[in-house]
Structure 1
Amino acid sequence: MQKSFLASENGFIHLCGHRGHSDGAPENTIAAFKATRDCGGTSIEIDTVLTKDNEIVVIHDLLVDRTTNGTGAVKDMTAAEIAGLDAGSWFGADFTGERIPTLREVIAAAHELDLVIEAEIKEKVNLAAYVEALKQVLADPRDCGRVMMISFDHAHLKAVKAAIPNVRTGGIVHERFADPVAVALAADLDELCIDLSVFDPQDARRLHEAGIAIRCHAYNPASIEEATRAGLAWTDELAGWLRAGLIDTLSGDDVTWLHRFRSNAI
């Protein structure tokens, strides 16, 4: 069964934990994904890189140094070596022993937790091998039906869809375009992932008219507060856009905040 990323089909707005509920658990770990569900989320945004033995693992960086007790490049390590690293203790002692999961493991967890996945392609070294590995991971339609592959590289997303016709794709954008619908259609995208700071309601209406889903990334509460102090009306505008049905997925680091904000807004 294919899960929808459109609020008009679901009857609700997805709340998406950015790297999971990364405000309360180590990013890109099963603990962060479970916390997303526990905080009221229905979606997770994750990052993916290819290992030496062509397994797709869930980590943001090309190096393991920042979020594990190891050092080195993911491309130089096997999936077994990656699995042996501690990816939780850097965040807090309660998370000691958390591992870097594979994409297969995250999809299995998403079935159990009833989450959809927005999986960003962070691989930069061997994109051809990544796509071949992705074909195998998403071979089961039930697995593919929970996943949206996303990237800043819209050309690569078009190639991914050509290789895996059933996969849905979302282009990440940090700036406005003169014609966002044309941008999405040119790359055969199913979604645009738009930062709150550049979200435009007229663009959103046109995207929805074209059948393109919209994920709005709302950062974290500290960034929202800082913007408010600077005179930006982000919270008022965001609440209005949610009420108007212009956003299908609202993402951020703190899923508890997202849940509270959505509840108050609509």
Structure 2
Amino acid sequence: MLKLLAENAAGVHVCGHRGHSIGAPENTIAALVATREHGGNSAEIDCVLTEDDEIVLMHDQTLDRTTNGTGLVSSQSLADIRKLDAGSWFDGRFVGERVPTLAEAIEFAKTYDFGLVVEIKGARQMDRFVRRLGAVLSETGGADHLVMISFDHVMLRDLKDALPGIRTEGITHARHADFVGVAKAARLDSVSMEHQMFVPEDGAALHKAGVAVRFHLQRPAYYDRHKALGIDLLAPVSGYIADGVIDTISGDDVGFLAALRAAAIAK
């Protein structure tokens, strides 16, 4: 079972954003494999519903950016999407990589004791999405391996009513005056915070309320640019990890995250 709180998981999780997306095509099985290879134990992935009500891994509503196809995901069948190349846009080493289904990602997670942080895209189709999600979780027995996330906290609250027992995480891009109140209002199990919006007092308050914290970092180049100007944005992060006020660190470069966690533990 994916344990959201670090104190229950024997340490802070390392989560690839769309998988190890700095080194593999995002939202593919290759990106999940690369996440494990670089020291991660979970991945944030994005999901969209096809025309024939299958849930596939895709960030955008359209196929154009990350496949050799074009048009809306929601207007094409799974069979048609299966024919597309989802890897060559990234690098020639990934020619022939396919768009996976959520069910396939769950089977990967079950095989490797891996966690999935699943962002819901395309809220206009939520009734259909929820019906299919419930079926996928029933078919795979995969609910213990995932947490469903969204910017839409009301939708997440309603999802808990529709699928009792499912775990949810609210994405935030601001520092709220009362994070605990935000989490309680939507019955969230976890909150996602951007690095620059995090202060340890908020993490401690959420933990006291039994709510986990996913702490999202930028790519290493972002921190290198600031360090060159005399600003070490990463200096406090080791303390956050060591002090247990965050539960997951996530980002595009999983190797960078794993090294950050290892250095914090070693201190």
Question: Is the shorter-chain TM-score for this pair beyond 0.5, marking a shared fold?
Answer: yes
Does 244-253 or 219-228 show the bigger shift? 219-228
Q: Distance in 1 between matches of 2:28 and 2:76?
A: 18
Instruction: Tell me the residue number matched to 2:252.
Output: 253
Find out whether 1:47 has 2:41 as its counterpart: no
Residues of 1 paired with 2:113 and 2:141: CA distance? 12
2-side partners of 1:241 and 1:142: how far apart? 34
What whole-Å deviation, never above 9, does each CA across 1:44-73 have from its counterpart, x for those lacking one? 100001000011110000000000001000
Distance in structure 1 (CA, Å) of the matches to 2:245 and 2:131: 35
| Structure 1 residue 224, shift from structure 2 partner | 2.1
Alignment of 1:142-181 (within 5 A): 142-181=141-180
Deviation at 1:247, TM superposition (A): 1.0
Q: Distance in 2 between matches of 1:263 and 1:6?
A: 18
Q: Distance in 2 between matches of 1:240 and 1:183?
A: 25
CA distance in 2, matches of 1:248, 1:141: 26
Which amino acid letter does the alignment assign opposite residue 54 of structure 2?
E
Q: CA deviation at 1:142?
A: 3.7
CA distance in 2, matches of 1:96, 1:232: 40
Equivalent position amino acid for 1:159 in 2 = D
Deviation of 1:226 after TM superposition, in Å, equals: 2.7
Q: How much is the aligned-residue C-alpha RMSD, in angstroms?
A: 1.2
**Quick check: 1:116–1:146 contact (8 Å CA) kept in 2?**
yes
C-alpha offsets along residues 105-150 of structure 1, whole Å, 9 cap, x if unaligned? 1000111222100000112331111111111111258400001000
> Deviation per CA, 1:158-205, whole angstroms, max 9, x where unpaired?
011110111100000010111000000000000001110101110100
Residue in 1 aligned with 2:118? 119
Deviation at 1:83, TM superposition (A): 1.1
Cα separation, 2, equivalents of 1:136 and 1:7: 30
Give the equivalent residue in structure 2 for 1:134. Answer: 133
Distance (whole Å) between structure 1 residues aligned to residue 227 and residue 244 of structure 2 = 23
Match of 1:222 in 2: 221
8 Å CA contact retained: 2:223, 2:232? no
SS, match of residue 148 in structure 2:
strand
Amino acid at match of 2:207: H
**Does 2:3 correspond to 1:8?**
no
Fraction of identical pairs, as percent? 47
User: Offset at 1:30?
Assistant: 0.3
Give the SS at the match of 2:138: coil
Distance 1:195 1:150 in 2: 15
Structure 1 residue aligned with 2:29: 30
8 Å contact from structure 1 (residues 196, 234) kept in 2: no
TM-score using structure 1 length: 0.97
Residue 57 in structure 1 maps to residue 56 in structure 2: yes
> 2:243 aligns to what?
244
Q: Distance in 2 between matches of 1:201 and 1:125?
A: 36
Q: Separation in 2 of the partners of 1:140 and 1:76? A: 25
Residue of structure 2 in register with 1:234 after alignment: 233
Deviation at 1:230, TM superposition (A): 4.9
Distance 2:130 2:228 in 1: 44
TM-score by length of 2: 0.96
8 A Cα contact 1:34 1:113, kept in partner? no
- How many Å apart are 1:228 and its aligned residue? 3.1
1:171, 1:184 within 8 Å by CA — same for their partners in 2?
A: yes
Q: Counterpart of 1:236 in 2: which secondary structure?
A: coil
Instruction: Tell me the distance in 2 between the aligned counterparts of 1:197 and 1:92.
Output: 31
- What does residue range 26-105 of structure 1 map to in structure 2 within 5 Å? 26-105=25-104
d(CA) in 2 for partners of 1:31 and 1:14?
20
1:232 to partner: Cα distance: 4.2
SS at match of 1:175: coil
In structure 2, the gaps of 5 or more residues are none
Distance 1:61 1:49 in 2: 8
Query: Which string of whole-angstrom CA distances, capped at 9 and with x for unpartnered residues, describes residues 72-109 of structure 1?
Result: 00010011111111000001111000011000010001
AA partner of residue 177 (structure 1)? H
* Higher mean C-alpha deviation, range 27-36 or range 229-238: 229-238
Measured at CA, do residues 161 and 244 of structure 1 come closer, stay the same or move farther in structure 2, by a change above 3 Å?
Answer: same
Aligned length: 265
